Structure 1
Amino acid sequence: MVPFFVSDFHIIQIARFLLGAGNGLYSTSTASLIGDIWSGDEQRNLLGYQSAVQTLGQSFAVFVAGLLLGINWHAAYLVYVLFIPIIILFALNYTSKTENAIKTEQAKVIAKNKQEKKTMNAPVMAIVAIILSGLYFVAIMPQQTDTAMALQQMNVPGQAFFSTSLALAGIVGALITALYGRIYKVLKFYTPVLAMVMGIIGYMGVLHSSNMIVFTISMMIISGSSIIFPYIYGAVMEDVPATSKDFFLSLAKVFNNGGAFISPYAIAAIGSMTGLTSPVDILKIAISILFVVGMIFIILGIVKTNKANKVKHNLNNKNMQHKLG
C-alpha cells in the first residue's frame, strides 16, 4: 500500500520488490502447508482448489483495482487492503496446535522413509517436471501478450470484446483447475499432457477465429491448461524428500516466473532464427513449444506409470509372502 501514500518512483519500486518477495514466500508456503497436512486424493483436490482460488482472486483484484483507478492511480493500490482480512483469518486458524501437528507428521514421514537421509540425490523426475513447467510458461505467455495483436492481424470483428474474453477465459480456467483432483484420478501421470493438448487446441482455435465467440472459447481452452500448476506442485511433493520439499517448491516458482519473464525474448529469438515474427507466427511458435513439452510429458508419464506398477507389484508380492509365511 506504500504507493497509495507516496509518488517517488524509487520507493514504489522497492515496495513492489517487497510485495513480490512476500508473494513468492506466501504462494509456495500455501502449497507446502497442503502437502504437510494432507496427502493422496485430498491433497490433489486442495491443490486444485488453491490454484483456482488464486486465479479467481487475481481476477477479482484486477477488477477492483480498475474501479479504484477511476479515482486516481494512487487509489488503485488500495486493492491490497484485501490482504488484511486474509492475514487475520490465517493468524486465527494457524495455531501452535496446527504447527505441532505438522511437525509430528513430518517426523513420521522422515522416520518411515530411510532414504530421506540421501537429500543430495537429485530427484530427477521432479527437476525435469519443474523445467518443463518453465517452458510451459514460455509458451503460454503469448496468450496475454500477443493474442490481441493476432486479432488485429487477422482482422477479426468485435475486437473491443478482447478484455472481456480474457476475463472470462481466466474464470473458466480457474473452474477447470478446481477439478484437478478428479482429472488426475482419470489421467494420473498424463495430466500435464492434457494441459499441453488444451493449450495447442486453444491456440489453433485463436488462429482460426472468424469472430469473437470462437476466439473467447479458444481462450477459455488455453486457460484450462493451468491444471499443470497443481500437478507440478503435487509431483514435487511426491518425488522429492520431505526435507527438501520447500526448496523444490520454491524452485518450481522460480522456473515459472523465469519462464514468464524470458518468454518474449525466447520466442523473439526463435522467431528471428526462423523468420516467424508476426503475432500469428508467435502463436505458432508457442504451439510448437507446447507440442515438444507435451511429448516429453508423455515419456515421463510412461516412466512414472511403469515405476508405480513395479512398486505396486512388489508390494503385492510382499503381502502374498507375508500371508503364506
Structure 2
Amino acid sequence: MKEKRVGFIGMLAILSIFLLQGGAGNLNPAINSIAQGLEMDPTVVTQVASFPSMFAIIISFIAGRFVGKKIKFRPFLISAILIFGIGGALPLVVSTWPVILFSRACVGIGIGSFFTLAPSLVLSLYDESKKGHVMGIGSAVATAGGVFVQMLSGYLVDISWHLAFGVHFIGIISLILVAIGLPEPDVSDLEEEQTKTKLPLGVYINSTIVMLFMMFSIPIIISVSMIIADRGFGTGLEAGTASSLFTIGGTVLSLLFGVLYKIFKRYTLAVVLLISVIGMGLVYYSTNLMMVFIGMFVMGIGLLITPALMMDNNEMVEEKNIVAASSTIIIFTNIGNFLASYLLIFLTNISKSMQMDYPALFITIILMIILTLGGLIIKMNQKNKAKE
C-alpha cells in the first residue's frame, strides 16, 4: 500500500481519537456521588460503567461493515464525536436517571467508533515501517487519556456530581482536529463496495483470544483492592496507586510497542500474554505491597494485546477489510469485558471448597497460562495472507 500523506495535524487528529477511547471509564470516580445525588442504590448506578459496552458492540459492527466502503471515515467520526460530546454531557442540563442512561448510550456509540476506527486509520494511512510505531503511540495516548479523564472527573465531582459529565466536552479538541486535518483513506472501488466482507478465520481466532484475555485478566485487576486490604498491605489509597501503576505500565510499554513488534512480529501476542501471566502471579502471591505494585505495573503490558492483534490482522486481511477486522476485535473485547465479572462470580461459586486464598483468581491464572500456550501454538502455525 502506498502511504498517504498524513501531516502533523492529521497525526494529531488520529491521536486525539485514541485519546477519546479513555471515555469508557470517565465516570467511575463519580459513581458513589451520582448515587447519593439521585438517592439510588450504588450497585444500580454502576450501570454507568457497563452500559456503554452494549452500544459499543453495536456501533463497532456497523462501523466495521460500512466505514471505508459506503461511508467515509471523516463524516462518520465527526458524527460520533458530536454524539459522544453532546450526548455524554446532557446530564449537565437534565440529570434524571433515564437521561443519564441515554447519555451513557451516546458515550457507548462514541467509544465503539473510536476503538474501531483509530487503529483502522493507522493501518490504512501509514506504510508498514511506521504502523507499529504509530499504533504504539496511539495506545499510550489512549491509556494516558483514561488516567487524565478519570482524574478530571474526580476533580469535577468534588465540586458537583453534575459537573462530572462535563468531561465529555474534551471531544471538542478531536472534533476540530478531525474536521480540519484528518486525511480520508482511499475508499474501495464500487465493485468492492458491493462485495460482502469475508474475513479469514485468523481474525476470529485473534478476536476470541482477546475476549478470553479480558475474561481471565480483569478479575484480578478488579480484586486488587481486596487483596491489599485482606493482606494488610494498605487501604484505598494504596489500591488506587496499584490501579494507576497498571495504567502507567501500559502507557510506558505502549511507547515501546513499535520496537517490540519489530523484534517479535506475530509472536508479540505470546510475549504479551506471558508477561501478563507473570504480573498476575506477582499480585496473587504477593507478600508485600511492593510485589503488588510491581505485578500491576507488569500486567499493564496486557493493554498491548489489542494493537498486537490489530497488527496481526493487518498481515492477514486485504486492505479493504481492515476496518471490518478491527471492529471484530473491538466487539469481542467488549464481550470479554462484559463477561469477566460473571466469570468471577461463577468461579467463586464453584471454588468455595478449595483450601486456598482467592481460589477463583488462582483458576483465572491457570486459564491464562493455557491461553498463553494456545496463543503461541496458534501463532507458530499462522500463515499470513499476501496483502494487495
Q: What TM-score range do you get, normalising by the shorter chain?
A: 0.7 to 0.9
Relative to its length, the structure with more helix (as a share) is 1
**Superposition TM-score, scaled by structure 1 size:** 0.83
- What is the CA deviation profile of residues 257-314 of structure 1, one whole-angstrom value per residue up to 9, with x for unaligned ones? 110111111232234334478872232122122112111111122112xx46x98xxx
| SS across alignment from 1:30 | helix
Letter in 2 for 1:300: I
The amino acid across from 2:208 in the alignment is I
Pick one of 359, 377, 380 that aligns with 1:281.
Answer: 359
> Could you tell me which of 186, 197, 210 is aligned with 1:103?
186
Aligned residues: 294
| Partner SS for 1:156 | coil
In 2, the alpha carbon distance for the partners of 1:34 and 1:249 equals 11
Distance 1:228 1:275, change over 3 A: same
Match of 1:10 in 2: 98
Moved more, 17-26 or 56-65: 17-26
Q: Structure 1 residue 250 and structure 2 residue 333: aligned?
A: no
1:232 and 2:298 are equivalent in the alignment: no
Could you say which residue in structure 2 is the equivalent of 1:221?
A: 298
Residues 177 and 143 from structure 1, CA distance in 2 versus in 1: closer, same or farther, beyond 3 angstroms?
farther
**Aligned twin of 1:183:** 260
Identify the match of residue 376 of structure 2 among 282, 298, 301. 298
Q: Which runs of 5 or more residues in structure 1 are unaligned?
A: 111-115, 312-325
Three-state SS of the structure 2 residue aligned to 1:155 is: coil
The question of whether the paired residues in 1 share the 8 Å contact of 2:266 and 2:312 is answered with: no
Instruction: State the match for 2:122 in structure 1.
Output: 34
Tell me what 1:86 maps to. Answer: 174
| Alpha carbons 1:267, 1:285 under 8 Å: kept | no
Distance change >3 Å, CA 119–CA 78, structure 1 → 2: closer
Q: Which residue number corresponds to residue 143 of structure 2?
A: 55
Task: Tell me if the contact between 1:158 and 1:212 (Cα under 8 Å) persists in the aligned partners.
Answer: no
- Which residues of structure 2 form unaligned runs of 5+? 1-88
Aligned to 1:44: 132
What secondary structure is seen at the aligned counterpart in 2 of 1:103?
coil
CA contact (8 A) 2:270 2:372 kept: yes
Aligned-partner Cα distance in 1 for 2:169–2:357: 38
Separation in structure 1 between the aligned mates of residue 159 and residue 196 of structure 2, nearest angstrom: 57
Deviation at 1:248, TM superposition (A): 2.4
Given that 1:119 and 1:241 are in contact with CA atoms closer than 8 Å, whether structure 2 keeps it comes out as no
Distance 1:160 1:279, change over 3 A: farther
List per-residue Cα deviations over 1:52-71 (Å, max 9, x = no partner): 10110011000011011110
Name the structure 2 match of 1:144.
221
Q: What is the aligned-residue identity percentage?
A: 24
* Worse-matched range after superposition: 32-41 or 252-261: 32-41
Q: Alpha-carbon deviation of 1:172? A: 2.0
Classify 1:162/1:243 alpha carbon distance in 2 versus 1 (closer, same or farther; 3 Å): same
* Counterpart Cα distance in 2 of 1:11 and 1:242: 40
Relative to structure 1, the CA distance from residue 265 to residue 276 in structure 2 (aligned partners, 3 Å threshold; closer, same or farther) is farther
Q: Which residue, 264, 267, 282 being the options, matches 2:341?
A: 264
What's the counterpart of residue 64 of structure 1? 152
What root-mean-square deviation, in Å, do the aligned CA atoms of Structure 1 and Structure 2 show? 2.4
1:200 corresponds to: 277
TM-aligned CA distance change 1:39 to 1:282, over 3 Å: farther
Q: Deviations over 1:84-137 (max 9, x none)?
A: 12211121102xxx32xx217x56xx8xxxxx97854x4111210110100000
Aligned counterpart in structure 2 of residue 25 of structure 1, from 113, 133, 149: 113
Counterpart CA distance in 2 for 1:215 and 1:3 is: 37
CA distance 1:127–1:279, shift in 2 (3 Å): farther
**Whole-angstrom CA distance in 2 between matches of 1:13 and 1:157:** 35
Deviation at 1:157, TM superposition (A): 4.1
Instruction: Compute the displacement of 1:158 (Å).
Output: 5.7
**Matched position secondary structure for 1:12:** helix
For the pair shown, the structure with the greater C-alpha radius of gyration is: 1
